[in-house]
């Protein structure tokens, strides 16, 4: 990793300046910059470099639009203008699919496609590469279908189920304890029961319905959220079994029918 004096030298070279011209641009003496990048002569013949002060660093940052993280070794990007802006949550999806009549399709995100969805959700070519279809029951909104992966929501949804989500226009619209598909920078695509504990929606609590496995609750910051889809419908291959009360009722009905048959 380059030391800060080496970073300043790199900046000087980036703008095709010498030490004197650079010093004039940031309002300090040429000696000041020379002592930082070359060092002051010592009695023993060596040179001791001076650490730049706060005012010098601030002048470099402001004059040349330098990324502060570059100067302090936290980033390899020198110029602030070269930093890709972090996308913020949008009231509408970045890309949608439509029919030839201009009506919105439901884009289907399979388990296999989920791995690339985080990087491709805003890419028109990627979204167009996914299957899409028209769903007459889903109107008045933008909808997307996701294939459930894993067992964290067992008791409600199972691996391979299909959940249909309606795009949420604002994170503050989240209703506590409802189920959502959350697309975030760190976790990708997850299906969770969501709680919004703060009025200004600074963070969300994500919970799993499966209490038998190792699926702890966790918190994500709102700035990490890229998309949120509220689950409004689902399709499942799992045929629910009758609950105990129905089992007992069916057993009782069978006994009554058997008894009636014996009487007659």
pLDDT at 27: 96
Separation CA 62–CA 64 (nearest Å): 6
* Per-residue pLDDT tens over the stretch 233-260: 999 988 777 656 555 665 666 667 666 6
Which residues 6+ apart lie within 8 Å of 222 measured at CB? Answer: 89, 171, 201, 202, 203, 204
pLDDT at 87: 59
Residue 205, φ and ψ in degrees, nearest 5: -105, 125
Separation CA 160–CA 149 (nearest Å): 6
CATH architecture of 4-82: Orthogonal Bundle (1.10)
Domain ranges of the chain: 4-82, 106-235
pLDDT at 88: 66
pTM for the whole thing? 0.61
pLDDT at 194: 94
Separation CA 70–CA 152 (nearest Å): 40
pLDDT at 242: 63
* Per-residue pLDDT tens over the stretch 208-231: 999 887 899 999 998 889 999 999
The answer to whether 211 and 154 have CB atoms below 8 angstroms apart is: no
CB atoms within 10 A of CB 50: 17
What residue spans of the chain are helical by DSSP H?
A: 4-14, 19-26, 30-37, 54-64, 68-71, 111-120, 124-129, 244-263
Q: Is 182 exposed, middle or buried (0-12, 13-18, 19+ CB in 10 A)?
A: buried
pLDDT at 100: 80
pLDDT per residue rounded down to tens, the chain (264 residues): 688 999 999 999 999 999 999 999 999 999 999 999 999 888 888 889 999 999 999 999 999 999 998 988 888 899 998 887 655 677 778 888 887 888 889 999 999 888 789 888 888 888 989 999 988 888 888 999 999 999 999 989 999 999 999 999 888 899 999 999 999 988 899 999 999 877 666 889 999 999 887 899 999 998 889 999 999 999 998 877 765 655 566 566 666 766 665 665
The conformation of residue 247, written as its DSSP 8-state character, comes to H
* Topology at the third CATH level for domain 106-235: Umud Fragment, subunit A (2.10.109)
pLDDT at 189: 94
C-alpha of 186 from chain center: 6
Angle between helices 54-64 and 4-14 (to 10 degrees): 30
């Amino acid at each position: 990793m380059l030391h800060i004096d080496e970073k300043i030298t790199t900046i000087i070279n980036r703008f095709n300046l010498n030490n004197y011209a650079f010093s004039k641009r940031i309002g300090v003496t040429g000696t000041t910059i020379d002592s930082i990048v070359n060092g002051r002569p010592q009695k023993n013949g060596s040179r001791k470099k001076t650490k730049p002060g706060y005012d010098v660093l601030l002048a470099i940052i402001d004059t040349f639009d330098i990324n502060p993280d570059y100067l302090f070794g936290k980033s390899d990007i020198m110029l602030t203008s070269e930093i890709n802006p972090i996308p913020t949550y949008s009231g509408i999806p970045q890309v949608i699919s439509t029919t030839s009549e201009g009506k919105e399709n439901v884009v289907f995100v399979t388990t296999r496609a989920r791995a690339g969805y985080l990087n491709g959700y805003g890419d028109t070519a990627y979204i167009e590469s996914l299957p899409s279809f028209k769903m007459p029951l889903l109107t008045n909104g933008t909808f997307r279908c996701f294939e459930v992966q894993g067992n964290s929501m067992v008791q409600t949804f199972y691996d391979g189920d299909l959940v249909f989500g309606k795009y949420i226009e604002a994170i503050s619209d989240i209703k506590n304890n409802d189920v959502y598909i959350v697309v975030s920078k760190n976790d990708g695509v997850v299906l969770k029961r969501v709680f919004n504990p703060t009025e200004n929606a600074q963070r969300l609590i994500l919970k799993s319905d499966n209490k038998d496995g190792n699926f702890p609750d966790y918190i994500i910051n709102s700035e990490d959220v890229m998309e949120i889809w509220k689950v409004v419908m689902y399709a499942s291959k799992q045929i629910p079994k009758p609950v105990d009360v129905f089992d007992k009722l069916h057993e009782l009905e069978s006994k009554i029918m058997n008894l009636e048959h014996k009487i007659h």
